[in-house]
Chain A
Amino acid sequence: MAENDRLIEVKDLRVSFFTPAGEVKAVDGISYSLGYNEVMGVVGESGSGKSVEAYSIIGLLQSPGRVVGGSITFEGEDLLAYTPEQMRQFRGNKVSMIFQNPMTCLNPVYTIGNQLTEALTCHDKGISKQDARARAIRMLELVGINNAEKRMDQYPHEFSGGMRQRAMIAMALICRPKLLIADEPTTALDVTIQAQILELMKRLQHEEKTSIIFITHNLGVVAEICDRVSVMYAGKIVEQGAVNDIFYSPAHPYTKGLLASMPRLDEDSHERLIPIEGTPIDLLNPPKGCNFAPRCKECRKICLHQKPPFADFGNGHVSACWLHFMDRARANDTAKGASANA
């Protein structure tokens, strides 16, 4: 990717939470960049740091969390150097976010219309009330809410779960941000509603040319909507690449394990699931070597002592695992074998 194609670039970002029990490195040196009009999926289990990473982009990290290193550059500007006032202008205008649970994010005592127009008037002081209202109605129609005029004057509790999430999306997109961060936007929804929302997000992304960082633990959703995928484990990106590379030729043992452990609707035989044994590591006492080593089937001696560097498979497909370096040819074969089996 050329320098000017990048919307946002994160370099060696480190975020720690300073708890009474000690420092928790929730995000431990992750780097990636996102181009214009691109959808990147961030996959990981709870505690892998996927949400923390997103919160630090938009400046919503809560104490005791703090960015302790690295840089976030948005269209050439250093976001970490922004003052709180600059950040407030930036948030909602250039970047906005939708959350997992729309009920806790909408204010129950204001009407939907009120909350939608507030986002507009905050960022565009010159806009008249009528214009703001008209645009809010158009936005509600765009996200597929019928009777938008009437719905504007209703309160969040009068909306169903799917409609609340639509209203959240409308609110996030009303200032035409360049980047939308979606933190598990469909996890609280039923599959049929999830399908509607994903369809909507794909359509809007296409029409508005918004880049999206899509955080989820559902690999099916990632396969559905994302162009590229970052797989996170215990605060680190373990594998990153185009969506087809990740799903058809996964390289990292964790990614392979995740894909193998999922029951699939499209497979014929009843095969026993192959789980990833063990539990995620305690981030208060991270291991010296690879974070995944304690659960890895292919763990070698070096994995216990040294963090693995990234191996490059071309086309932006990278994976951090010692196996790739020990016997590169053999590792390539297994990757091919895995994709042939899939």
Chain B
Amino acid sequence: MPENQKLIEIENLRKYFPVNRGSLFARRQYVQAVESVSFSIYRGETLGIVGESGCGKSTLGRAIIRLHEPTSGKIVYDGQTIYDSQAKIAVPMLPYRRKMQIIFQDPSASLDPRMTVGEIVGEALDIHKLCSGKAERRDRINALLDEVGLNTEHANRFPHEFSGGQQQRVGIARALAVNPEFIVCDEPISALDVSIQSQVVNMLEDLQQQIGLTYLFIAHDISVVRHISNRIGVMYLGNLVELAESYELCNRPIHPYTQTLLSAVPLPDPEKNKTRQRILLEGDIPSPINPPTGCRFHTRCPYAMERCKQDVPQLKEYGAGHFAACHRLEERW
């Protein structure tokens, strides 16, 4: 894709959270939730991020739109730097909130129980002063509800009167209210029932086509991510370990962690499951407070070498648009 279509570019983005030190004199410790992640998101595409819980995928999504202020790094939105720790740039985000929105995982927790759906969706319109009169505001809210498959009467109801799938639709309508260009979808369907998930996935795809949205789609369910994304990034313990076009990534994964992750997904096909090769990892994901040195995956990697314990592997391109960070690949390629 050409250079000028980059909508978002992040460079060496870091987000550390301080942890409570036991005593006043103890060394301050940090959860290294996101560690030096760099990539670009192109206009109109869906970039999927997968990884296990605690790998930093949600933190990454929030740091990009600066809901979590990054610890260091650089974020460029549509050619304009909105955050750069070295140049000490941190622009006011309010004008950018009109362009960047987020849909949260738990729809019931992310909607104010004391506000009606109309107020929830209309709040963003008021903040950004997008409607000149009451009638226009009402029409816009109705249009938004209609867009996400809800009725206009629903505007006067409260969130608890809706099912999980409908609540998520309200969350989507709220995100769409300001006509954004970019939406971070943070596990938007994992709290929903199986039969409802596909409704919401289809709706997100339709909206993307109609209004030309760009998505950062974060989820742990790799089958859903593969379905909706153009490209997929795989995260492990705060690092981006592999990034490729989604078909390529799922059919020719090159990083050992991606290979493991894909082989661990049970297929809805009893016979295929019996014949499939499984890579089972030993142990659990290490703590992000004291991450392993070198490659963070080396403690569980079946191919770990001496070098992996010391050097941090860099993300390099192996084949067109297929990036991975692994020492073993460097040597074998």
Contact = CB atoms under 8 A, between A and B. Distances in A.
Interface stretch (A72-80, A132-140, A265-273, A319-327): A265-273
B199 A277 contact: yes
Interface string B195-213: 1111101100100000000
Interface string A257-269: 1110111111010
Contacts of B263: 195
Given A224-B273, A273-B201, A273-B202, A263 B223 contact: yes
Given A264-B268, A265-B262, A266-B267, A275 B202 contact: yes
B80 interface: no
Nearest to A222: B268
Interface stretch (A2-10, A186-194, A303-311, A330-338): A186-194
A25 to B, nearest CB: 19
A117 B22 CA distance: 33
A162 interface: yes
Given A162-B284, A191-B52, A276 B195 contact: yes
Given A223-B266, A223-B270, A266-B269, A199 B227 contact: no
Contacts of A223: 266-270, 273
B163 interface: yes
B237 to A, nearest CB: 12
B93 to A, nearest CB: 32
Given A191-B261, A273-B201, A265 B226 contact: yes
Nearest to B264: A195
B280 A257 contact: no
A274 interface: yes
Contact of B198 (A224, A247, A270, A275): A275
B250 interface: yes
Contacts of A158: none
Interface string B273-296: 100001011001100000000000
Nearest to B229: A270
A231 to B, nearest CB: 11
B227 A244 contact: no
Interface residues of A, number: 45
Interface string A234-254: 000000000110010000000
Interface residues of B, number: 43
Contacts of B194: 45, 217, 219, 258, 261-262
A33 to B, nearest CB: 21
Query: Which DSSP category, helix, strand, loop or mixed, fits chain B's interface?
Result: helix
A265 B265 contact: yes
Contact of A265 (B53, B196, B222, B260): B222
A270 B264 CA distance: 22
A259 B195 contact: no
A221 interface: yes
B73 interface: no
Interface of B: 52-53, 163, 165-166, 193-199, 201-202, 205, 220, 222-224, 226-228, 247, 250, 260-273, 278, 280-281, 284-285
Given A219-B194, A223-B268, 17 more contacts: A160-B285, A163-B284, A190-B52, A190-B53, A192-B260, A193-B284, A196-B281, A219-B268, A222-B268, A224-B267, A243-B270, A263-B223, A265-B265, A265-B267, A273-B202, A273-B227, A274-B198
Interface of A: 45-46, 160-163, 190-196, 198-199, 217-224, 243-244, 247, 257-259, 261-266, 268, 270, 272-277, 279-280
Sort A-B residue pairs by CB-CB distance and give the 6 closest, nearest first.
Answer: A263-B227, A220-B266, A275-B198, A190-B52, A195-B264, A261-B198
